[in-house]
C-alpha cells in the first residue's frame, strides 16, 4: 500500500486536519502520482460540510490535481515516470454503458461514476482526493498537461475549466453567438475566457462594479451590472446562450427574459435551494438546462485547447496551514479567482 499524508474532514462540523491513509499499490494499468498542486473548489466546501447530503467521512477533498508520475504499471501506455499528469473530478466509471462508450463517463447510465473523492471505488473503498501527497488511478482517467502551461495555474482547469468549456462547446458557442456569463468567480472567469477564445460576443453579468475592469481584461465585450434597476430591459430577447456559474440563490427570471427564441440558459452552479422557474419565463421556447463536467476525451481536448491558446486560471497560491482562511475567503468571494494548494510541502 502507498502511505499517504493529507488533510481530511472527519465530520460535517470539524475543520480539515492532518490525516494519514493509504492508496492501493499501482496495478497493471495504474499510475502513481505525486501531487504537486490542487485547486480549491467551492464544491470541496459543500461536500466537506455535507451541504448536499451525500458526504462520506473521513473525506480528503480535491479534484483539480496536477502532479508528477512516479510509478507506472506494466501495461501503462499513456505515461512514463517523470511525466506531468492531471486528474479531474472522476477516476472511473462502468466503461460499458452508452454514455461511457460515447465519452460521457460523467453521466454513466449505470450511475457507476467513481468520483475522485467522496465516492467509493468498485472494491467499495473510499476515494481520497487531491488535498494529499499521492494518488493512484487508472491511466484511462488521467490527463496530459501541455508543457507550456504553468502547472499550478493549470490545476483549476480540471474542474472550473472543463465545467465551463463543456457546455459552451455542446451548445456550439462561437463567432456570431451572443453569450452571457453570470458571475465572475472561479467558474465564471473561466467561462469568460473560453467564450472569448471561441470568438463569441461575450457579456459578463456581475453585481460588483469593482469587477468591471477585470471582466474586460479577461475578455468581456460588455459588462452589465445587475444591481441597477430594470437592468435587463434593454437586452431582452438578444442572447443565444447564457452560462450561469453562481452557486448562491438568485432569480433566474430576468436572465431567461434575455434569451432569444430557442436560446438556452445553462446552469453549472449548484445552489442549496431548488431553482424557481415560472412557466411564463420559458413559454417563448426558451430553454433552461444544466451541465456537469466533460468526459475524459473532452477534458483532454480542453487542456489541449488551453495549451494552444495559453489559457490558465487566475490563481492565488496557498498552503495547508492557511486552509481555513482560504475556505473562508472562497465563501466570501474574496479570491481572484481560484486558490491552489501547494501540496509538495506535505
Would you call 60 exposed, middle or buried from its count of C-beta atoms within 10 A (0-12, 13-18, 19+)?
buried
CB-based contact 313:160 (threshold 8 Å): yes
183 and 257 fall within a common domain: yes
Residue 300 counted as domain residue: no
Give mean pLDDT, residues 26-49: 96
Query: Hey, what's the cell of 137?
Result: 488511478
Residue 278 confidence (pLDDT): 80
Task: Say which CATH number the domain at 218 has.
Answer: 3.40.50.720
DSSP-derived 3-state class of residue 60:
coil
- 139 and 165 in a single domain? The answer is no
Asked if 183 and 227 sit in the same domain, the reply is yes
Radius of gyration from C-alpha coordinates of the chain: 20
In a domain, 323, yes or no: yes
Q: Are 3 and 22 in contact (CB under 8 A)?
A: yes
What domain count does the chain have?
2
Q: What is the mean pLDDT of the chain?
A: 95
Residue 299 included in any domain? no
Give the pLDDT score at 281: 83
Residues 147 and 73 in one domain: yes
Check the CA dihedral 112-91-142-172 and report its sign. Answer: positive
> How does pLDDT run across 72-90, given as a tens digit for each residue?
999 999 999 999 999 999 9
What percent of the chain lies above the pLDDT cut of 70? Answer: 100
Strand partners of residue 179: 202, 241
Is 242's pLDDT higher than 80?
Answer: yes
Contact of 129 with 60, CB cutoff 8 Å: yes
95 and 74 in one domain?
Answer: yes
**Is 12 a member of any domain?**
yes
Contacts of 214 (CB under 8 A, 6+ apart): 184, 189, 336
- The pLDDT of residue 119 is 97
Give the 3-state DSSP-derived string for 303-323, with helices as H, strands as E and coil as C: HHHHHHHCCCCCEEEECHHHH
pLDDT in tens, 191-218: 999 999 999 999 999 988 889 999 999 9
More confident residue, 239 or 346: 239
Q: Tell me the whole-structure pTM to 2 decimals.
A: 0.94
Tell whether the model's pLDDT for residue 223 goes beyond 90: yes
In a domain, 331, yes or no: yes
Check: CB of residue 287 under 8 Å from CB of residue 265: yes
What's the chain's length in residues? 346
Residue 181 near residue 197, CB atoms below 8 Å = no
The whole-number average pLDDT for the span 147-151 is 97
Whether residue 95 is found in the same domain as residue 225? no
Q: Which domain holds residue 249?
A: 161-290
Residues 174 and 284 in one domain: yes
> Residue 133 is part of a domain; what is its CATH number?
3.90.180.10
Q: Answer whether residue 27 is part of any domain.
A: yes
Average pLDDT over residues 248-272: 90
State the DSSP H helix or E strand holding residue 287, giving kind and residue range, or none if neither: strand 287-290
Judge whether 72 lies within some domain: yes
Amino acid at each position: 500500500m502507498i502511505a499517504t499524508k493529507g488533510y481530511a474532514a472527519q465530520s460535517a462540523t470539524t475543520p480539515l486536519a492532518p490525516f494519514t491513509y493509504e492508496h492501493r499499490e499501482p496495478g497493471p494499468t495504474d499510475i502513481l502520482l505525486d501531487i504537486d498542486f490542487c485547486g480549491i473548489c467551492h464544491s470541496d466546501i459543500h461536500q466537506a460540510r455535507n451541504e448536499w447530503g451525500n458526504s462520506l467521512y473521513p473525506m480528503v477533498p480535491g479534484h483539480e490535481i496536477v502532479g508528477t508520475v512516479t510509478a507506472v504499471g506494466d501495461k501503462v501506455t499513456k505515461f512514463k515516470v517523470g511525466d506531468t499528469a492531471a486528474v479531474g473530478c472522476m477516476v472511473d466509471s462502468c466503461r460499458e454503458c452508452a454514455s461511457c462508450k460515447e465519452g460521457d463517463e460523467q453521466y454513466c447510465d449505470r450511475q457507476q461514476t467513481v468520483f475522485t473523492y467522496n465516492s467509493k471505488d468498485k472494491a467499495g473503498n473510499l476515494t481520497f482526493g487531491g488535498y494529499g501527497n499521492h494518488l493512484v488511478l487508472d491511466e484511462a482517467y488521467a490527463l496530459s498537461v501541455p508543457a507550456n502551461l504553468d502547472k499550478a495555474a493549470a490545476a483549476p482547469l480540471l474542474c472550473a475549466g472543463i465545467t465551463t468549456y463543456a457546455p459552451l462547446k455542446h451548445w456550439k458557442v462561437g463567432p456570431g453567438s451572443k453569450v452571457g456569463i453570470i458571475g465572475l468567480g472561479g467558474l465564471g472567469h473561466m467561462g469568460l475566457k473560453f467564450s472569448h477564445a471561441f470568438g463569441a460576443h461575450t457579456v459578463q453579468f456581475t453585481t460588483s462594479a469593482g469587477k468591471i475592469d477585470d471582466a474586460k481584461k479577461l475578455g468581456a465585450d460588455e459588462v452589465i451590472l445587475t444591481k441597477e434597476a430594470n437592468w435587463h430591459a434593454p437586452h431582452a430577447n438578444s442572447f443565444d446562450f447564457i452560462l450561469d456559474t453562481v452557486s448562491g440563490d438568485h432569480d433566474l427570471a430576468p436572465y431567461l427574459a434575455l434569451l432569444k427564441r430557442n436560446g438556452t440558459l445553462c446552469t453549472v452552479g449548484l445552489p442549496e435551494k431548488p431553482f424557481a422557474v415560472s412557466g411564463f419565463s420559458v413559454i417563448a421556447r426558451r430553454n433552461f438546462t444544466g451541465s456537469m463536467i466533460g468526459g475524459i476525451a473532452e477534458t483532454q481536448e480542453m487542456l489541449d485547447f488551453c495549451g494552444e491558446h495559453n489559457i490558465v486560471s487566475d490563481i492565488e497560491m496557498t498552503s495547508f496551514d492557511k486552509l481555513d482562511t482560504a475556505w473562508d475567503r472562497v465563501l466570501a468571494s474574496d479570491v481572484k479567482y481560484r486558490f491552489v494548494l501547494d501540496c509538495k510541502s506535505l
